[in-house]
């Protein structure tokens, strides 16, 4: 099963997925990585793994559909069955969504539908919630919308710093994402 990972930043989830494959816990091949930030940290990690990466600057295109068409072509060329968004900070347009219906998933650091968008952890801390978590969901045209596939929660208290909470979120993400991808693949991506 060939997968594509889309990322814009650090790429710790990219690494977690890549390691799960290397450890034999995930029956997939990362055939393509797509990155919309020319200086993102994830690029070095992908190159070190010798995986193929397409880096682009959205500002150099006239429209979202223009660069999404190129991405779709690359995904088809690489025989991609599942697109995994891992910190990709862009809302997908109809060009990508229509080309891969029910084949695009995302991970978000909150218990959706609460705290969509940027700095979800900061929003949750500000609100004073006592239970936080991670969600994995199918992607649609709404930001952090789409049917939820899996969630994992944990309890927080006022003594925890934002950094400690972020670490906990990442710890959960790095186990949950490869596990969910493996289950989707085993289930035949229904
Ligand atoms: C993760 O917390 C993910 O939930 C969110 O963006 C972050 C990406 O982190 N969508 P990384 O680039 O995988 O380290």
Tokens, residue 75: 């995904």
Give residue 188's pLDDT band: very low, low, confident or very high (50, 70, 90): confident
Fold of 2-185: Rossmann fold (3.40.50)
- Of all protein residues, the one whose alpha carbon is nearest to atom 1 of ligand 1 is 87
Share above pLDDT 90 across residues of the chain, in percent, rounded to a whole number: 97
Q: What is the pLDDT of residues 131-178, one digit of tens each?
A: 999 999 999 999 999 999 999 999 999 999 999 999 999 999 999 999
Pairing of strands 131-138, 2-7: unpaired
In the reported structure, the alpha carbon of residue 36 is separated from the centroid of ligand 1 by a whole-number distance in angstroms of 14
Regarding the beta carbon of 133 and ligand 1, being less than 6 Å apart is answered no
Distance 4 CA to ligand 1 centre (A): 16
- Average pLDDT value for the chain: 97
41 has a pLDDT exceeding 70? yes
Task: Determine the atom of ligand 1 nearest the C-alpha atom of 11.
Answer: 12
User: What pLDDT is stored for residue 89 in this prediction?
Assistant: 93
Q: Do residues 132 and 120 lie in contact, with contact meaning Cβ atoms separated by under 8 Å?
A: no
What pLDDT does residue 190 have?
Answer: 65
Just list the catalytic residues. Answer: 108
Given a cut of 80, is residue 189 above it in pLDDT?
no
Alpha-carbon gap, residue 27 to 2, rounded angstroms: 9
pLDDT at 88 > cutoff 70: yes
Q: CB under 8 Å to 175, separation ≥6 — which residues?
A: 16
Distance (angstroms) between ligand 1 centre and the Cα of 7 equals: 8
Ligand 1: atom nearest CA of 42 is 12
| Neighbour tally for 127: CB within 10 Å | 9
Domain ranges of the chain: 2-185
């Amino acid at each position: 099963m060939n997968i594509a990972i889309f990322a814009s930043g650090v790429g710790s989830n990219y690494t977690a997925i890549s390691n799960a494959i290397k450890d034999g816990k995930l029956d997939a091949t990362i055939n393509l990585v797509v990155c919309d930030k020319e200086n993102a940290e994830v690029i070095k990690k992908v190159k070190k793994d010798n995986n193929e990466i397409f880096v682009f600057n959205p500002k150099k295109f006239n429209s979202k559909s223009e660069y999404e068409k190129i991405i779709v072509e690359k995904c088809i060329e690489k025989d991609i069955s599942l697109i995994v968004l891992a910190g990709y900070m862009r809302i997908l347009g109809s060009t990508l969504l229509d080309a891969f219906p029910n084949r695009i998933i995302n991970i978000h650091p909150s218990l959706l539908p609460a705290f969509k968008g940027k700095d979800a952890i900061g929003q949750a801390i500000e609100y004073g919630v006592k239970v936080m978590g991670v969600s994995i969901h199918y992607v649609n045209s709404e930001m952090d919308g789409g049917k939820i596939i899996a969630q994992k929660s944990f309890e927080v208290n006022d003594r925890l710093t934002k950094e400690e909470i972020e670490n906990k979120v990442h710890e959960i993400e790095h186990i949950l994402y490869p596990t969910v991808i493996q289950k989707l693949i085993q289930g035949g991506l229904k």
